[in-house]
Amino acid sequence: MTSAPDTRHLIPDEVEQWAQGLLSATRDAHLALCAECRTIAERERRLLRELAQLTRFAPEFGFVERVMAKVRIPTPSGPHFRPHTDA
């Protein structure tokens, strides 16, 4: 148990790198052993592929960025309750 392989799960950044074929060999080895990470990675890759297909039909610059902006949940900007100050 001294020379254990890299057992840390992939972080989202690494999953992204893997989907783009940029992941380092050591982390790639973990992926080969870890079903959990593989499931996540395959899902990420499928998502990227679908996005790539979408952009092929609508090859506007910044398309993905705009989609991602819509995905982000807007923070409500309602009126704030202020302490009643009579000063």
> Which residue is closest to Zn ion by CB?
34
Hey, what are 45's tokens? 């890759």
Sign of CA dihedral 52, 54, 59, 61: negative
In this complex, which beta carbon is closest to Zn ion, that of residue 9 or of residue 55?
9
In this complex, which beta carbon is closest to Zn ion, that of residue 23 or of residue 34?
34
34 lines the binding site for Zn ion (CB under 5 A): yes
Hey, what are 59's tokens? 């090859």
In this complex, which beta carbon is closest to Zn ion, that of residue 28 or of residue 51?
28
Q: Which of 1, 3, 7, 16 is nearest to 36 (CA)?
A: 7
By CB under 5 A, name the binding residues for Zn ion: 9, 34, 36-37
